[in-house]
């Protein structure tokens, strides 16, 4: 458990170097691998998700592959492995990953001729690929209502089908910016994707892998924005972060404008400064930006701002049930919620003074979001090391920027 003293520093000033976007890096790894080249970059300091996919791609073909809690790498790898006819490897993960949805992707790969063997129950981990896809197939239908990653997974392999390939989306597509990100990366590597209503069309081609696309991670930047929102004043520079990003979570800078943080674009990055904010209620639809939900929820509650948050349905199928995780952590300190299937209303009254022990639910974004409450009083966070999944070194940066004392305790 991590014990964090109350943050007393009123002016946050400094420079914060962010990790590279794991979403972008994972797509780059697949693009390289399907082109016949396993990336040789050093991923030692990258997010755990990136290291998990990299290790899977370079593992011997007679090995088991443990994807631990890494949903995105698993979903991207499944289409790649079916395309490359990688048969017989036992693919598995931890208990939470087994619960997370992959059935719609597997059924789409079956439409393309793939066959799977399931160890415990149908369309779930652990599994083995018994037969790869038929590359002469022309089309596939995919239900994208539970994850945009199913579409991204199929798009990435589409150029290596034998003829023009059509992907038809059925059901309500969520997290659309992540599909857009995939398409933009494909285009960066020379692949044209034609979109017609709910259909994507990709002609046979080869990726140009002479160059690598990368950006710093806006999902991680959101937690630095959260700290800036809580400070009385700030001057925080984030080198190499771009507002004109392919990442949907870059939208966080617009959200935080309403929460008192100004984003100043500079030649070599962005600078966060304080601005005046007078709102008493924030209304956000998280359908396309689900990863921002925990930190925005934490900041609004700490600032005493009511929330009317929609588009939360799929948040229950992330690394944790993020709606439940945040509610369970915050009800004991006095916060009131009205929960519906796709909507959450918040009444941000905090009972301060008592010892606060939060639980990360082994979810990196929950742990980082709850750290914001240290601006209110001393807190403790169980399972704090889970931040390595996306933001290695977060606690060191958090402590350096806020000048707060953090200490691992055994309790």
Q: What digits encode the pLDDT tens for the residues 31-41? A: 999 999 887 77
Domain boundaries, the chain: 2-19+215-408, 22-202
- Tokens representing 255 are 């959200």
pLDDT at 184: 97
**pLDDT, tens only, 71-86:** 999 999 999 999 999 9
Question: At a CB cut-off of 8 Å and minimum separation 6, what does 385 contact?
Answer: none
Comparing C-alpha atoms, which of 102, 134, 105, 108 is closest to residue 121?
Answer: 102
Q: What is the fold of 22-202?
A: UDP-n-acetylglucosamine1-carboxyvinyl-transferase; Chain (3.65.10)
Is residue 373 within 8 A of residue 356, CB to CB? The reply is yes
Count of alpha carbons within 13 angstroms of residue 99, beta-carbon side: 10
**pLDDT, tens only, 292-343:** 999 999 999 999 999 999 999 999 999 999 999 999 999 999 999 999 999 9
The span from the CA of 403 to the CA of 311, in Å, is 36
pLDDT at 411: 55
- Tokens representing 20 are 């590279």
pLDDT at 388: 95
**pLDDT, tens only, 275-300:** 987 799 999 999 999 999 999 999 99
Dihedral Cα 342, 348, 353, 355, nearest 10 deg = 10
pLDDT at 405: 83
pTM: 0.94
The span from the CA of 36 to the CA of 134, in Å, is 19
The span from the CA of 33 to the CA of 163, in Å, is 20
Distances (CA, A) of 137 to 31, 83, 168, 347: 20, 12, 14, 53
The span from the CA of 89 to the CA of 160, in Å, is 22
pLDDT at 355: 82
The span from the CA of 387 to the CA of 2, in Å, is 12
Is residue 284 within 8 A of residue 254, CB to CB? The reply is no
Question: At a CB cut-off of 8 Å and minimum separation 6, what does 265 contact?
Answer: 243
Segments of the chain scoring below 70 in pLDDT: 42, 353, 410-411
The span from the CA of 384 to the CA of 1, in Å, is 7
* Structural class in CATH, domain 2-19+215-408: alpha beta
The span from the CA of 155 to the CA of 166, in Å, is 9
Comparing C-alpha atoms, which of 236, 222, 312, 318 is closest to residue 274?
Answer: 236
The span from the CA of 130 to the CA of 140, in Å, is 20
Upstream peptide bond of 70 is cis (omega within 30 degrees of 0): no
pLDDT at 194: 97
The span from the CA of 367 to the CA of 359, in Å, is 7
- Tokens representing 234 are 């700030």
pLDDT at 116: 98
pLDDT at 408: 85
pLDDT at 410: 66
């Amino acid at each position: 458990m991590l014990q964090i003293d109350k943050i007393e520093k009123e002016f946050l000033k400094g420079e914060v170097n962010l990790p590279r976007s794991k979403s972008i890096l994972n797509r780059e790894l697949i693009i390289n691998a399907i082109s016949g080249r396993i990336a040789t970059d050093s991923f030692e300091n990258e997010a755990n998700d990136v290291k998990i996919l990299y290790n899977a791609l370079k593992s011997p073909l007679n090995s088991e592959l443990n994807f631990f809690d890494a949903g995105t790498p698993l979903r991207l790898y499944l289409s790649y492995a079916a395309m490359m006819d990688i048969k017989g490897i036992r693919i598995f993960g931890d208990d939470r990953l087994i619960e997370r949805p992959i059935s719609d992707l597997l059924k789409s790969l079956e439409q393309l001729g793939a066959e799977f063997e399931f160890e415990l129950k149908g369309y779930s981990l652990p599994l083995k690929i018994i037969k790869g896809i038929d590359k002469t197939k022309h089309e596939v239908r995919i239900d994208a209502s539970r994850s945009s990653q199913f579409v991204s997974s199929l798009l990435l392999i589409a150029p290596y089908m034998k003829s023009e390939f059509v992907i038809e989306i059925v059901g309500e597509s969520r997290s659309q910016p992540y599909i857009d990100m995939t398409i933009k990366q494909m285009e960066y590597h020379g692949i044209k994707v034609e979109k017609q209503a709910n259909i994507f069309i990709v002609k046979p081609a080869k990726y140009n892998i002479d160059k690598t696309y990368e950006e710093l991670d806006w999902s991680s930047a959101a937690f630095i924005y959260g700290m800036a929102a809580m400070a009385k004043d700030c001057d925080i520079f984030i080198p190499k972060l771009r507002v004109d990003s392919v990442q949907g979570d870059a939208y966080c800078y617009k959200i935080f404008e309403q929460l008192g943080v100004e984003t100043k674009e500079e030649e070599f990055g962005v600078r966060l400064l304080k601005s005046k904010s007078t709102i008493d209620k924030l209304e956000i639809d998280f359908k396309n930006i689900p990863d921002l939900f925990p930190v925005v929820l934490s900041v609004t509650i700490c600032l005493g701002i009511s929330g009317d948050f929609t588009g939360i349905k799929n948040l229950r199928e992330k690394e944790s049930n993020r709606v439940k995780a945040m509610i369970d952590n915050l009800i004991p300190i006095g916060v009131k919620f009205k929960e519906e299937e796709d909507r959450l209303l918040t009444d941000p009254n905090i009972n301060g003074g008592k010892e606060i022990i939060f639980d990360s639910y082994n979810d990196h974004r929950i742990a980082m979001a709850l750290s914001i409450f240290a601006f209110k009083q001393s807190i403790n966070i169980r399972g704090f090391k889970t931040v390595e999944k996306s933001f290695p070194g977060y606690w060191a940066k958090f402590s350096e920027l806020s000048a707060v004392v953090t200490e691992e305790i055994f309790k």
